[in-house]
């Protein structure tokens, strides 16, 4: 297990009255214990295919084959898709410097682009800048009906047409969507299949925000040369305590769920995840969708906030330390001590910081993560510490599965369905109506 979790600094017994009373945690552990029974049934009945994903390997060859096809002679691979059809891939891609400030520009080829937010200026710009003949496009949508992804796909087909490449979209495009339902429509397939574009099948039993361990997340990871089987092995590590039938307090994801449920019982409805690593920034965004769409219903759920450190110490931390005491703050650190540039002694003296001398940048970041957790606790703010010594495929797989399990169990314990998102549909329908009326 790469992931270490401590909830000590969330408890009133350690941080004073602002922390969680043991009674609330005990009640929450009992609720999560019941949720675990339901999860065990989900596993045994096959109702929740996600639970079998960590131990699945028969699809890995086809994912690797599709990734190799995309990479062949490609300068750029563009992933179209939004929400759960993009964020998991992005979280994994950050291990290879995707969207890491500064470093992303120098990442080894092919360049990958996740165009998840529909912005006309960006999309136009990118279509004009991309070397289209050496670019491969992957359109991902579970439903096949998401407006943003359909518009992007149409725009790309038209751009290929203008560039004289329309005869070959099957060489440049790959689709990933659910199989067409009998008698039903799948607009993405309707668009691309007549062009001869090949499709990978989206798992029908795994929703977008839980799809990071399927081909949705692993295809981009494989394009970037990541070890996709290690990602699944890491996920198996997070699930092992459940398979072993451990008690809630001894299964890290269940304990995390209990922490969230206890916070809800105390009326504290904000959950902050602050990761001290550039390569976990997309992970925090992935978690925001997972949490918000899964637990935010029937008037329940907590507000997820994504933060990274140390930079957000300089923007958000004041509020967490001295604003309303209504948050669970999770501080996620990695083993960066001893890493990075060495700080010259004389220059450190000149800067008036003798304590920097002979240290590495990673030493400061490690100290900052530790200091933030301790300062939050000293100020009576419930704080959870998570630590991964080495951030690699296996550790990230464990982290992703940990949070999916924590989310599902929290949903079950709060009495909400963690797998649907009915409220989002209303706005989508209205937007399509407005679009039809627009001149
Ligand atoms: O993969 P799809 O079907 O295009 O959906 C994209 C995203 O849109 C949502 O349905 C919300 O609108 C998310 O749950 C989902 O991840």
Asked whether 153 and 92 are in contact (CB, 8 A), the reply is no
Residue nearest to atom 12 of ligand 1 (CA): 424
**Looking at 129, 314, 346, 439, which residue is catalytic?**
314
C-beta of 153 in contact with ligand 1 (< 6 A): no
Q: Using the mean position of ligand 1's atoms as its centre, give its distance from the Cα of residue 313 in Å.
A: 32
Mean pLDDT over 415-432 rounds to: 92
Residue nearest to atom 7 of ligand 1 (CA): 83
SS (H, E, C) 183-238: CCCCHHHHHHHHHCCEEEECCCCCCHHHCCCCHHHHHHHHHCCCCHHHHHHHHHHH
Q: Give the alpha-carbon dihedral of 198, 203, 209, 212, to 10 degrees.
A: -70
Q: Which atom of ligand 1 is found nearest the CA of 84? A: 16
User: What's the pLDDT at 295?
Assistant: 97
Mean pLDDT over 294-313 rounds to: 97
Q: Using the mean position of ligand 1's atoms as its centre, give its distance from the Cα of residue 406 in Å.
A: 21
- pLDDT tens digits, one per residue of 114-149: 999 999 999 999 999 999 999 999 999 999 999 999
Mean pLDDT over 295-302 rounds to: 95
Helix axes 252-265, 393-414, angle to 10 degrees: 40
Phi/psi of residue 207, nearest 5 degrees: -70, 160
Q: Using the mean position of ligand 1's atoms as its centre, give its distance from the Cα of residue 143 in Å.
A: 7
Does 142 participate in catalysis according to the annotation?
Answer: no
Closest to 410 in 3D by CA, of 8, 22, 28: 28
Query: What SS3 class is residue 130?
Result: coil
**Looking at 148, 178, 281, 293, which residue is catalytic?**
293
C-beta of 214 in contact with ligand 1 (< 6 A): no
Residue nearest to atom 8 of ligand 1 (CA): 83
Q: Which atom of ligand 1 is found nearest the CA of 81? A: 4
C-beta of 333 in contact with ligand 1 (< 6 A): no
Residue with tokens 């979790």: 5
Give 56 or 429, the one with higher predicted confidence.
56
Mean pLDDT over 415-431 rounds to: 92
Closest to 275 in 3D by CA, of 326, 235, 241, 316: 316
User: What's the pLDDT at 261?
Assistant: 98
Asked whether 133 and 163 are in contact (CB, 8 A), the reply is yes
Q: Would the pLDDT of 15 be above 90?
A: yes
C-beta of 209 in contact with ligand 1 (< 6 A): yes
What is the ipTM score, two decimals?
0.99
Token duo for residue 6:
């401590």
User: Cα(128)–Cα(92) distance, rounded to whole angstroms?
Assistant: 27
C-beta of 177 in contact with ligand 1 (< 6 A): no
- pLDDT tens digits, one per residue of 335-381: 999 999 999 999 999 999 999 999 999 999 999 999 999 999 999 99
Q: Which atom of ligand 1 is found nearest the CA of 149? A: 4
C-beta of 89 in contact with ligand 1 (< 6 A): no
C-beta of 88 in contact with ligand 1 (< 6 A): no
C-beta of 133 in contact with ligand 1 (< 6 A): no
Token duo for residue 5:
């979790």
User: Cα(385)–Cα(396) distance, rounded to whole angstroms?
Assistant: 16
C-beta of 294 in contact with ligand 1 (< 6 A): no
Domains of the chain: 3-42+230-423 (3.40.50.10490), 53-228 (3.40.50.10490)
Mutate to test the pocket of ligand 1, among 146, 177, 181, 407 (most ligand atoms within 8 A of CB): 146
Closest to 292 in 3D by CA, of 209, 217, 216, 214: 209
Asked whether 261 and 28 are in contact (CB, 8 A), the reply is yes
Q: Would the pLDDT of 109 be above 90?
A: no
| 16-25, 98-107, 193-202, 251-260: segment of lowest average pLDDT | 98-107
The length of the chain, given as a count of residues: 439
C-beta of 152 in contact with ligand 1 (< 6 A): no
For a pLDDT cut of 90, what percent of the chain falls above it? 93
Contacts of 71 (CB under 8 A, 6+ apart): 77, 110, 223
Q: Using the mean position of ligand 1's atoms as its centre, give its distance from the Cα of residue 425 in Å.
A: 10
Does 293 participate in catalysis according to the annotation?
Answer: yes
Asked whether 373 and 328 are in contact (CB, 8 A), the reply is no
User: Cα(374)–Cα(385) distance, rounded to whole angstroms?
Assistant: 10
Residue nearest to atom 2 of ligand 1 (CA): 141
**Looking at 52, 55, 378, 428, which residue is catalytic?**
428
Q: Using the mean position of ligand 1's atoms as its centre, give its distance from the Cα of residue 137 in Å.
A: 19
Q: Would the pLDDT of 167 be above 80?
A: no
C-beta of 175 in contact with ligand 1 (< 6 A): no
Q: Are strands 173-177 and 76-80 parallel, antiparallel or unpaired?
A: unpaired
Q: Which atom of ligand 1 is found nearest the CA of 208? A: 16
Does 314 participate in catalysis according to the annotation?
Answer: yes
Mean pLDDT over 220-228 rounds to: 98
User: Cα(270)–Cα(198) distance, rounded to whole angstroms?
Assistant: 43
C-beta of 316 in contact with ligand 1 (< 6 A): no
User: What's the pLDDT at 148?
Assistant: 96
Q: Are strands 303-308 and 327-334 parallel, antiparallel or unpaired?
A: unpaired
Model confidence band, residue 179 (pLDDT cutoffs 50, 70, 90): very high
């Amino acid at each position: 297990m790469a992931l270490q979790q401590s909830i000590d600094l969330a408890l009133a017994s350690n941080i004073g009255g602002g922390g969680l009373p043991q009674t609330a945690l005990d009640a929450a552990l009992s609720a999560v214990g019941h949720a675990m029974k339901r999860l065990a049934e989900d596993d045994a009945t096959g109702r929740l295919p996600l639970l079998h994903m960590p131990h699945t390997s028969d699809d890995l060859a086809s994912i690797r084959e599709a990734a190799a096809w995309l990479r062949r002679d490609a300068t750029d691979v563009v992933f179209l898709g939004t929400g759960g059809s993009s964020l998991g891939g992005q979280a994994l891609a950050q291990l290879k410097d995707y969207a890491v400030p500064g470093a992303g520009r120098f990442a080894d080829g092919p360049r990958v682009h996740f165009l998840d937010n529909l912005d006309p200026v960006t999309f136009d710009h990118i279509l004009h800048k991309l070397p289209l003949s050496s670019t491969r496009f992957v359109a991902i949508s579970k439903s096949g009906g998401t407006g943003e992804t359909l518009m992007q796909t149409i725009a790309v087909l038209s751009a290929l047409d203008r560039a004289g490449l329309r005869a070959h979209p099957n060489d440049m495009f790959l689709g990933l969507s659910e199989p067409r339902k009998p008698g039903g429509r799948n607009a993405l397939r309707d668009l691309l299949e007549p062009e001869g574009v090949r499709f990978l099948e989206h798992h029908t039993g795994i929703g977008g925000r839980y799809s990071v361990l399927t081909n949705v997340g692993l295809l981009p990871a494989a394009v970037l040369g990541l070890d996709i089987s290690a990602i699944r092995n890491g996920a198996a590590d997070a699930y092992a305590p459940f398979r072993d039938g451990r008690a809630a307090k001894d299964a890290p994801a269940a304990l995390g769920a209990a922490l969230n449920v206890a916070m809800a019982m105390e009326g504290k409805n904000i959950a902050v995840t602050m990761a001290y690593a550039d390569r976990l920034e997309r992970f925090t965004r992935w978690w925001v969708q997972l949490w918000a769409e899964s637990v935010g219903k029937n008037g329940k759920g907590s507000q997820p906030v994504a933060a990274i450190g140390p930079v957000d110490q300089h923007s958000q931390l004041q509020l967490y330390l001295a604003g309303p005491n209504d948050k669970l703050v999770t501080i996620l650190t990695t083993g960066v001590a001893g890493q990075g540039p060495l700080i010259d002694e004389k220059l450190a003296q000149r800067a008036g910081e003798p304590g920097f001398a002979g240290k590495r940048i990673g030493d400061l970041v490690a100290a900052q993560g530790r200091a933030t957790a301790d300062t939050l606790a000293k100020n009576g703010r419930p704080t959870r510490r998570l630590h991964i010594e080495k951030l690699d495929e296996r550790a990230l797989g464990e982290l992703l599965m940990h949070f999916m399990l924590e989310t599902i169990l929290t949903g079950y314990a709060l009495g909400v369905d963690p797998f649907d998102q009915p409220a989002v549909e209303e706005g989508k329908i209205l937007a399509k109506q407005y679009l039809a009326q627009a001149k």
